[in-house]
Structures are given as structure tokens and as C-alpha cells.
Chain A
Amino acid sequence: MSLPATGRSLGLLVCLDCRLTVRGVKLPRLQCPRCHARLHERKPHSLAITTVLLISAAVLYVPANLLPVMDTRTFFDDENDTIMSGVLVLLQSGSWPIALLVFIASIVVPLLKILALGVLLYSAWRRSPRGRLQRSQLYRMVEFIGRWSMLDIYAISLLATLVQVQTFASIIVGWGAWAFGAVVVLTLFAARTFDERLLWDAPRHD
């Protein structure tokens, strides 16, 4: 069976910034002649960098969910909310579509992203030839949904700005929000440093 013609087998490179096809020359620093972006056959150290970012995100996912994201102080009580209890508050106040939205964006999506990137990394590292199309589609889904996890950060920032001491209560941001923001940013970077093409590279013969 002949292998399909790829950029690597033809000695061609594609610029990921402007999509120009460039003849690959063995130079230490290759630049795109059109947009001057650095060119690489594959993103450099893709697997190692993505692994580090992903492990950091997975570690921070724990405090992001256990520490309070906001502390609501009124005259009568003092209420610490984690992300999950925030979802429950929304559910109790009867707005279940919004509760579901926050649950998906803040709890399901980050977890799914971490797990999916883990699977992709492992299979790219093993150069497994099975289910490549599905894995490629999984990667594209991870890339697409990633930004929606920022939703809770925006909601918290608005709440903390609006509800201040001058009014009836105050909302103080908790360290959980910081950890959560870090998880979102780390997974966004992890998805971008991962080179999809590694999923399709020919398996090692050894």
C-alpha cells in the first residue's frame, strides 16, 4: 500500500498563519515569505508543551471546583459559593435553563476538554492509527467549545462590580475564580500548542 502524499513526503510546508504553501528548505529559521511567521514542519515540542499545560490545568481544576468563587455578604448572612453551589442557587431560583447553561460551560466543558486532550495526547504519542478521523473531529470540537468556559468569569466580574458595600450587600471574589480562570487559559493554550497533524503521521515501524 502506498502512503498518501503529504507535505512532509513532498518536502512542502504550510504556513499556519496565512495558509501559504512553501517549499521546505533545511534552514535553522524558516520564515513565511508572505506573512513572516516562523514556519515549522510540525509545531515544535508540541507533545511536551501540551502535556505540561494540560497537567497544570488538571491540577488547578481541583481548587477551581472546591474553593469558593464568590463570597456574598449581606446584613444577615455570609454565603460562600463554589461553582457547583452557584449552579444550585440558579436551579432553586427556578431558572433551570440558565443553571444548565452554567453547569455545562463551567463544569462539563473544562472536564471534557482535559479528558479529550489527554486522550489525544496519549494516542498521538503512541501514533495509534485507529479512529484518526474521530480523534481529529474531537480535537476540532475541543478547540471550538473552549472559549465558552469563560462565561462564569464574566458573570462573576459583573456581579462583583455591581454588588458593592454601598448597596445592600457585597460580593467578594474568591480564589476559586482565579484557579478557574487559570484552568480556562491553560486549556486554551494546551489546545493551541497541540499539533493536529501528529494524529495523522505514519506509525513508527519498530
Chain B
Amino acid sequence: MPPVILCPACDLAHRRTATPSSGRTRCARCRAPLQRPESAAIETAIALGLCALVLFWLGNAYPLVAMHVGGSSRATTLMGAARGLYDQNYKALGALVFLTTVIAPLLQVTALLYVLIPLWRKRTAFGQNAVIRLLTRVRLWSFMEVFMLGALVALVRLSKFAHVVPGIALWCCGLLMLCLSALASVTSPEQLWRWAVGSQE
């Protein structure tokens, strides 16, 4: 491997140095982050991943919000939100919501566990490198934190003319959002490749 790191944002060549132990290094020319420090242990990432999986299940199994007005009430789940658009014949829009709030977070967590659990046991998962690449690409489409804020906006708009009760799933999604961002910060692409390459040597 050439002893050079190229800045992915401006193509400037830097001499490769040891991975910094704290703080990230930045490109000397365009200030884009170059190297992130060696982060938490692989066990931390697996624990966060399992936690996210449980929260994801709870977030989908229970209603997100319930609305009471007059004598009737209605509730929806996370998947129900995408379903609502689909049922009103906005299929592409429903698919977009489904992809960014259900498929992408789920794929992100399961793919991560699929790769990390064998690595933790000093083995290599089948098709590991392709899965890591899929994982880092799918992560760009996981919009949980935006969904939470959208849910907040919807609650405020409804509370004007109905009694709105936030459900268990809403709290779970909030925790899931925190869990996913913690997970993303301990499993940066560089860190994943560091673990993966370490196992192959």
C-alpha cells in the first residue's frame, strides 16, 4: 500500500502517519476530515447494534401516536405512516418514507451485526467486504432523526384540534435515533475497515 493518504475532497496527497489517538486529522488544504481516531472497542459497537435492534422492534410493534377526538380514536405505527401515503396512491412517496425510516435503519443495523459478530469471534463473515460497502452506502439513506422532528411537527399540528397521545414507539424511536447516531460514530467506515483488515492479516 503506498505510504500516502489522499484527501477524498480535494485529492491532495498527505504522508501516512499513525492513526491519531485523539481528535481527527484534517486535510491541510481543504480542511475535510482525513483520519478519525481509533474508537471504541468492537464489543461496544455490537452492544449498541443489539440495543438498536431491540428498539427498532419495539418502535415498530407499538403505536407511534394515538389521536382521540369525540368518541373515536386512531393510532398509527412507524410502518403505518408509509402505508398511509401508499394507500392514497402516492406509491413512490410511500416507498421513499418506507425506505428511509424502516428499510435503511434495519439494514444498517443487521448488516453491521452480520459483519461485527464474526469479527469479534475472530472469524470472517461470508461476503464481508461487499456487506461493509453496502452498509456504508445504505447509512446515507437512514433518516431517523429527521423523522422524529417530522413527528413532532405533526403532533403540534394535530394537538390544535384533537387530543394526541404519544405512544411507546415514539419514545423508542427517539432512543433508536440516539442509538443509531452513537453507532455511526463508533463505526466510521475507516474503523470498520480497520477491524476487517486486522482479522484478515
Contacts and interface: CB of A to CB of B under 8 A. Distances in A.
B20 interface: no
B69 A7 contact: no
A168 B161 CA distance: 10
A166 B72 CA distance: 8
Interface string A127-164: 00000110011001000000110111111111111111
Contact of A136 (B31, B67, B140, B146): B31
Contacts of B72: 166-168
Interface stretch (B1-9, B46-54, B113-121): B1-9
Given A21-B4, A34-B129, A132 B30 contact: yes
Nearest to B128: A35
Given A18-B193, A19-B193, A177-B93, A101 B6 contact: no
B157 A89 contact: yes
Contact of B85 (A9, A10, A157): A157
B150 A173 contact: no
Contacts of B101: 154
Given A101-B149, A154-B151, A17 B93 contact: no
A143 B68 CA distance: 40
Interface stretch (B37-45, B76-84, B176-184): B76-84
Contacts of B151: 154-155, 158
B9 to A, nearest CB: 5
Given A7-B11, A34-B129, A173 B69 contact: no
Contacts of A154: 81, 97, 101, 146-147, 149-151, 153-154
B156 A173 contact: no
A126 interface: no
Contacts of B154: 154-156, 158-159, 162
A80 to B, nearest CB: 15
B70 interface: yes
A118 B10 CA distance: 19
Contacts of B6: 6-7, 12-14, 21
B3 to A, nearest CB: 9
B9 A36 contact: no
Say what secondary structure dominates the interface of chain A: helix
Contacts of A27: none
A136 B74 contact: no
A178 B93 contact: yes
Contacts of B160: 93
Contact of B93 (A19, A36, A164, A181): A181
Interface core residue of A8, A148, A152, A173 (most chain B CB under 10 Å)? A173
Given A36-B133, A151-B149, A167-B67, A12 B2 contact: yes
A64 interface: no
Contact of B189 (A5, A18, A161): A18
B1 A20 contact: yes
A158 B76 contact: yes
B158 interface: yes
B97 A197 contact: no
Given A93-B160, A101-B149, A164-B74, A158 B8 contact: no
A31 to B, nearest CB: 11
Contacts of B2: 12, 21, 23
B149 to A, nearest CB: 5
B9 A98 contact: no
Contacts of A84: none
A12 B13 contact: yes
Contacts of A158: 64-65, 76, 81, 84, 150-151, 154
12 contacts: A10-B13, A14-B8, A35-B193, A101-B149, A136-B31, A150-B100, A152-B153, A162-B154, A163-B67, A181-B96, A192-B140, A196-B8
The 4 A-B residue pairs with the shortest CB-CB distance in the complex, in nearest-first order: A154-B150, A161-B84, A14-B6, A158-B154
